[in-house]
Chain A
């Protein structure tokens, strides 16, 4: 039985930072008002008129060595199929140790009390659909798939194009790759 390693690839060349991914995620996952599971970061460097820009759609990196999972005292933060990092709402005490552990500040406290974050829309993935953000993205910036499958789109993109991850020095081994 082959292992599965879910990953997402973000093509920063194409991303225009429209926020369709943010709102589609909120809609699909009933994310409460005032919170978001994914977000856009726009970085512009330089002095006028010598400027360059990068736009990224970010979310939880579903790290292969997730410090949030290591730090969780109840096992609420755990790793599911495909390496997806999930929070079991029934086990979460809201201690927020995971939020302190996450170097990416990817989590938030849901008004109902448990800690919440991007789930890679695993409920959709199980049905053979893409995560909501990937489905909606008008610029086809987002790609989702199995990194352990050498023929998957994400594998090919990561192999053939220059890419980076956020905070590689953390040693968390993020699975969100930004094509530059």
Chain B
């Protein structure tokens, strides 16, 4: 397929344009972007799973697993690291506040900026809501106003959070979905980059985020029931991810010259090794097999498994960002 795309009549194209990071092909985003997309997807997934676990715990009448109660705050921490990387990527850093002086309807990045603003209060509320009373008091104790016995906004917030339940959990799930999906749409809205020209990227990054969140939770000690639950979530998410990746490749095949070029990147082209070796086999199929074995009790849960899943999640974004940048439809399809 790769050779088939070569021209049969030789064409010599010369240009003296040599704009940095643009020529010979676009390379504007470095590792900062996949790191952010990964951490953003992970944070979104953690918000979703924390809220889902809260729903399930309520239905079962059991308390939420301890490890899960700290996940909202952890998610915010991870997200903040991701946003730091995002900030580092900006070329005009002093103007970063401009993101928050406008809302551009057609810009996924603008949506994202405001979604991020929503994630923080939701995450804080969810975190304050899920943790134990004791933990809540400890946190409130950090506020100097509270220690002085004066009315403290943190105290008020904690009190409000304590009373919330399904409304907050529903909002958290929605926010988490928005966060994880928009990271995919960030790439997917660029129809001019043939590898990114698919609406599937949003849902793909979402299920990858959920899978990563489940794996992340598995890194922490929790009761066997919870472990089984998380394994189920992860397996489902990984299967969904494989299905979506398959649909992505099929979609490429039906999308004209650009799509065929995109598919060729992964089917014989320069990204084949990373895609199949690092992502599909190591990052998805291997953990899928091990997790199903673990489910059937044949293999004991190990910490390596979640790390491999997280690695797969990062590789998905890395491969997508780096393989997609250089592939402009105009360059690929010619005039």
Contacts and interface: CB of A to CB of B under 8 A. Distances in A.
A97 B92 CA distance: 13
Given A67-B190, A109-B28, A95 B20 contact: no
A172 B186 CA distance: 19
Contacts of B3: none
A92 interface: yes
Interface string A63-91: 00001001111111000000000000011
A100 B325 contact: yes
Contacts of B2: none
8 contacts: A34-B18, A41-B15, A44-B12, A71-B190, A93-B98, A96-B29, A97-B107, A105-B22
A95 B89 contact: yes
Interface string A34-74: 11100111111111000000000000000000010011111
Contact of A93 (B13, B15, B28, B95): B95
B20 A113 contact: no
Interface of B: 9-23, 25-26, 28-29, 89-96, 98-99, 101-102, 104, 106-110, 112-113, 186-187, 189-193, 196, 256, 325, 328-331, 333, 335
B104 A108 contact: no
A99 B104 CA distance: 17
Interface residues of A, number: 50
A93 B192 contact: no
A96 B28 contact: yes
A164 interface: yes
Question: Secondary structure of the A side of the interface?
Answer: loop
A95 B22 contact: no
Contacts of A45: 9-12
Nearest to A42: B14
B328 A35 contact: no
Contacts of B20: 34-35, 108-109
Contacts, number: 169
Given A34-B20, A42-B14, A47-B9, A94 B93 contact: yes
Contact of B95 (A67, A91, A100, A167): A91
Contacts of B108: 71, 97
B91 A73 contact: no
A42 B10 CA distance: 14
Contact of A96 (B91, B256, B330): B91
Given A91-B98, A93-B96, A35 B19 contact: yes
B242 to A, nearest CB: 27
A5 interface: no
Interface in A105-132: 105, 107-109, 112-115
B95 A108 contact: no
Nearest to A91: B98
A22 to B, nearest CB: 8
A101 interface: yes
